[in-house]
Amino acid sequence: QQQVKQSPQSLIVQKGGISIINCAYENTAFDYFPWYQQFPGKGPALLIAIRPDVSEKKEGRFTISFNKSAKQFSLHIMDSQPGDSATYFCAASSRSTNSGYALNFGKGTSLLVTP
Amino acid sequence: DAGITQSPRYKITETGRQVTLMCHQTWSHSYMFWYRQDLGHGLRLIYYSAAADITDKGEVPDGYVVSRSKTENFPLTLESATRSQTSVYFCASAGTATYEQYFGPGTRLTVT
């Protein structure tokens, strides 16, 4: 059972536009929500992460918005660039399990930024 | 500063053979993880380890065995490979200060 649902599956955005990827979860024990970026042939790389005590976190052009009551979080990429073309994964984990924050991943979004 | 490495990067094996994927990290992270990545499924946790000699199952452990005799190494063994185990395997590690997970470059395994 997929614990984190991610949409859309694919996304095409023009250079300079805003890319938005959404994720939803059901397990209220989740308390850590990272986003990973993956280029073809590479391992996922941690992009940005948020904990539920804040509603937004911004790092450069990347922003996570978090809505605890709706159990949703999203990644916004401002001023999208062709170099941002990659697959993005949201994930969630829980401190309450003794699993070292083992991650539950969404299925990924393939982003293409056109010139 | 090697970080986290995996070997081999590519492997082709036959059904029924045993194969071991290696993972090595230089950060002295307590936690290590094995995930598999399949189209349409994202990444799924196979096994994880909280410390040397402490391992536990993840979401899809069947057909896999792990060990962790040293903090820096976390090998994954497929005891009798099946075609359904054709996948890309990622190892990751995390320290207890932040629990942020860092991934290796992956091993692409094909079982014929």
Distance separating alpha carbons of residues B86 and B96, to the nearest angstrom = 32
Reply yes or no on whether the pLDDT at B36 is more than 70.
yes
Which A residues, 51 through 80, put their C-beta within 8 Å of a C-beta on chain B? Answer: none
SS3 of chain A = CCCEEEECCEEEEECCCCEEEEEEECCCCCCEEEEEEECCCCCCEEEEEECCCCCEEEECCEEEEEECCCCEEEEEECCCCHHHCEEEEEEEECCCCCCCCCCEECCCEEEEEEC
Give the best residue of A101, A104, A109, A110 to mutate against chain B (max B CB count within 10 A).
A101
Q: Please say whether the beta carbons of A71 and A77 come within 8 A.
A: no
* pLDDT tens-digit series, residues A36-45: 999 999 999 9
Distance separating alpha carbons of residues B98 and B95, to the nearest angstrom = 6
CB-based contact (8 Å) between A108 and chain B? yes
Nearest CA-CA partner of A66 in A50, A47, A42:
A50
B1 — pLDDT class (breaks 50, 70, 90)? low
- B36 contacts in chain A (CB < 8 Å): none
- The residue of chain A with its CA nearest to that of B6 is A43
Distance separating alpha carbons of residues A74 and A20, to the nearest angstrom = 7
Question: Quick one: pLDDT at residue A41?
Answer: 92
Give the best residue of B48, B96, B99, B100 to mutate against chain A (max A CB count within 10 A).
B99
Question: Quick one: pLDDT at residue A97?
Answer: 65
Could B105 and A101 be called an inter-chain contact, meaning their C-beta atoms sit closer than 8 Å? Answer: no
